[in-house]
Structures are given as C-alpha cells and as structure tokens.
Amino acid sequence: MTPIKIRPASKNDVSSIVAIRLGAFTDEEAAGYIIPGDNMYTSTKKMREMWGTKNLLEDGSEVFVAEREGRVVGFIVFNMRSIDDNIDNVIVAKAEQGSGVGKALVEYVESLAKSRGVDVLRLDTTENVEGVPWRAYGFWIKMGYVDTGERVASGYGFKDIRFVKKLK
C-alpha cells in the first residue's frame, strides 16, 4: 500500500475535509452519538468561516491531513490549549478506514505534542443513551488511551467518554 503523508491542512483542504466527514459515516450510524444537525465539519461554508491563519481554526486548533497518492484521506484536529479535548476529531475516508490512516494521524499528533513538552493527551468519544460506545472507542483503546470512567452528559442524549494517555 502507498505510504501516508501527514501535513498541516490549509484552507484549500476544506472541501476535502468536509467530503471525508460526510462520507465517513451516515446520519443513521451516528444517530444518538453526535450533535444532530450541521456543524463546521459538514459545511464547507461554515468551515471556511472558522478557518483562521495557516492550519489553525479560530479557536487555536491545528488541523492536519493525511494524504495517500496526493489525495486527502483523513484529518485530525489538535488543540494544545484545551484542558478536555486535545484531540477533537480524527476522521478517515470510508474507503481508507482500517488501513492505518487514523493511527498515523494520532501518532503524528502525539509526536508533535511530545516535541512541545506535552506529557498527557486527553480526548473523548461518546456513548449513546443505552450506554453503547461509538465505534471509535476500540480504536482509542488500541492506541493506548485509557477510559477514565468519567461520563459527562452532553445535553443531546449521549454522554462523552473521557480518555487520557500519558506520553513517554
């Protein structure tokens, strides 16, 4: 398989990022796990409005994309300033899921965090009202993140599952 290249995203990548998010999972699959309705990852217009300078969103989050054969196949949103969610999103194109793209993106951000003196990363995924975790739960466990046991009500019927990982 062709190697994966990780690079900072630019405003030129917005259309690819939105297309990846829209194609990664259906509304039916995500029902009960995410905030219903449009968000910046499902709207090119909204995402362009949120884009700051370089690869930064207005809130200071950095966006990195994974490319294979010159095509954007995934992205990750990373924010060192957040106390709850250093990694906000990792989304991989449907056809690339399970091929190592998500792992490469997370390892890239972990390495970047270490180089900046960060020793702990935090993130969350969700569980639905029945207590069933979103499918990313197993991915985070495989990546060495630990479920803290903390569940935080979202106000949308699902709960956030908090994860933490100590970087070595």
Q: For residue range 134-156, what is the model confidence (pLDDT) as tens digits? A: 999 999 999 999 999 999 998 88
Domain that holds residue 90: 5-118
164 domain-assigned: no
150 domain-assigned: no
98 domain-assigned: yes
For 35-63, letters b (16+ CB in 10 Å) and e give eeeeebbebbeebeebbeeebbbeeebbb
129 domain-assigned: no
How are strands ordered across the β-sheet holding 5-8?
Answer: 5-8, 62-68, 71-78, 87-92, 120-127, 159-166, 146-153
Q: What is the CATH number of the domain that holds 30?
A: 3.40.630.30
What per-residue confidence (pLDDT) applies to 55? 64
Give the long-range contacts of residues 142-146, CB within 8 A, separation 24 or more: 143/103, 143/106, 145/121
126 domain-assigned: no
Q: Please answer whether residues 93 and 74 qualify as being in contact, where contact means their C-beta atoms are separated by less than 8 angstroms.
A: yes
75 domain-assigned: yes
**Which comes out higher in pLDDT, residue 11 or 38?**
11
Number of structural domains found in the chain? 1
Stated pTM of the model: 0.91
pLDDT tens-digit profile of 120-136? 999 999 999 999 999 99
Secondary structure string (H, E, C) spanning 95-124: HHCCCCHHHHHHHHHHHHHHHCCCCEEEEE
**Which comes out higher in pLDDT, residue 143 or 49?**
143
Average pLDDT in the chain: 90
Give the pLDDT band (50/70/90) at residue 103: very high
133 domain-assigned: no
44 domain-assigned: yes
